[in-house]
Amino acid sequence: MADYIDTKVVVPGTRGHGILRYYGAIRGKNGVFAGIELIGPTAATRGKNSGDVEGIQYFRVEIPLTGLFLPIDRLAAVNPHLVGLALAPPSSRNSISSMPSMASSTANHSKTAILNELRATVDEIQPLLQDYEVQLSEKDKKMTKQKADFERAREEWRESIDLMSIAHQENEAYYEKQVDLINEKLLALAKESEEAAQLKLAGDEEIAKLMLQIDDLKMEIIMAEKKTLQQRDLEGTVDELKHELSIRPTFNELVDLQTSLDELETLHKKELDSTEQELRRVIGENKDLQKKLEQVLTEQVENAKKEISDRELEKSLGDEEESLALPIYSPGKVDPSAGKNDWCGLCERDGHSSINCPYENDIF
C-alpha cells in the first residue's frame, strides 16, 4: 500500500487535486482516514490544518493550513485507483502510515460487506458522475466557443491596433511635414521682413535726398521768379524808352535811342530766353523729382502695408500651428490708384497730387 503515498488524488466535491500524504487511523476518531496536502487554488479554500489533529502530527505540508483529512471510503469514491486501498485490512493500512503513534482500535469488517457498501456508494455516485460529465462537456463547449470568440476579438483588436498605428505614423509624418513647411515660411517671412526694413531704411535716405533736392529746386524757382520780375521791369523800361523816342523830334537822338533800344531788347530777349530755358529745366526736374518722390512714397506705403500684413500673417501662422493643417491666405496686390487720374501716393486719396497734399505734415 505504500505505493499510494505521495500520489496525486482528486479532492471530493471540488475540481482540485492534492497529494496523499497519510493513510490510517486518527486518535479519538473511528474509521480509517486519508491525509491530503492540497495544491493549487483548492488549498486556499479547503485547507483545514497542517497535517496535525489535536496536537498529533500525522504528516507535514510545505505551506501551512493546506492539509485535509477525509474518510478513505469517500476519497476512494472519486479516485477509482484507491479502491484497493479502501478494501485493505486495517493492519495493512496501519503498516503504511508514516507516523509511529497511530490508534489501532478500528473495527474489522469483512471484505464482502465493504465491497457491497462500496458498490452501493458507486451506484449512488454514478448518476452524479454522469451529470458531472455532461456539465463538464457543456462547459468545455462553452469554453471552446468563448475561446474562439476571444481569439476572433483579439485578432480584430490586433487589426485595429495595426490600423491605428499606421494612421498614427501617417499623421505624425504629415504633421512633421507641415511643421517643416511652417518653419520654412517663417524663415522666408523673417528674411522678407529684414529686406523690407532695409528697403525702408534706403527709402528714408532716398526721401531725405529728394527733399533736399526739392528744397534746392524751390530756391531755383524763386530765383527764376525773381529773374522773371526783373525781365518784366526791363520790359517796362523798354516801353518807357520807346515812349520817350516817340516824343523826341531829333534824328540823332532817335537813332541813338533806337540803337539803345535794340541793344536793350536784344539783351532782354537773350535773358528772357535763358530764363525760360532755365525755368523749363527747373520745372522738368521738379516734375521728375515729384514723380520719384511719389514712387518712393508709394513703395514705402506699400512696404509698410506689407509689413503690417506680414505681422498679421505671423499671428495667423501662430494660430495655424495649433490647427497644423490650414493653408495660408495671401491676398492679391491691389493698386489703389488704378482708374483714377488725380491720385496722391502720400495719403492715398484722390482729388490732389503728392506735391499739394494737405495731409503731408500729418504723415511725416
Distances (CA, A) of 170 to 177, 178, 327: 11, 12, 19
What is the rounded CA–CA span in Å between residue 67 and residue 61?
7
pLDDT at 257 over 60: yes
Rounded to 10 degrees, the C-alpha dihedral 264/267/273/275 comes to -100
Identify the residue whose cell numbers are 495649433: 322
Q: Which residues contact 343 (CB under 8 A, 6 or more apart)?
A: 336, 337, 349, 350, 353
- Give per-residue pLDDT as tens, 136-153: 888 888 888 888 888 888
Q: What value does the mean pLDDT take over residues 219-245?
A: 83
3 state SS of 299: helix
Average pLDDT, the chain: 79
Per-residue pLDDT at 70: 94
Tens digit of each residue's pLDDT (9 = 90 or more) over 171-181: 888 888 888 88
Comparing 3-17, 88-102, 129-143, the range with the smallest average pLDDT is: 88-102
pLDDT of residue 91 exceeding 50, the answer is no
Gap between the terminal Cα atoms of the chain = 121
pLDDT tops 80 at residue 78? yes
The residue extents of the domains of the chain are 2-102, 190-329
Q: Is residue 272 a contact partner of residue 231, using CB atoms and an 8 Å limit? A: yes
SS (H, E, C) 166-208: HHHHHHHHHHHHHHHHHHHHHHHHHHHHHHHHHHHHHHHHHHH
CATH (one of 3.30.950, 1.10.10, 1.10.287, 1.20.1070) for 190-329: 1.10.287
Dihedral sign for Cα 214, 217, 222, 228, please: negative
pLDDT digits (tens, 9 = 90+) for 172-215: 888 888 888 889 888 998 888 888 888 888 878 888 888 888 88
Q: Which has the higher per-residue pLDDT, 286 or 15?
A: 15
* Topology adopted by domain 2-102: SH3 type barrels. (2.30.30)
Q: Provide the 3-class DSSP secondary structure of residue 107.
A: coil
Q: Hey, CA dihedral for 338, 339, 341, 344, is it positive or negative?
A: negative
What is the pLDDT averaged over residues 59-78?
A: 93
- Distance in angstroms (rounded) separating the CA atoms of residues 300 and 294: 10
Write down the pLDDT at residue 294.
83
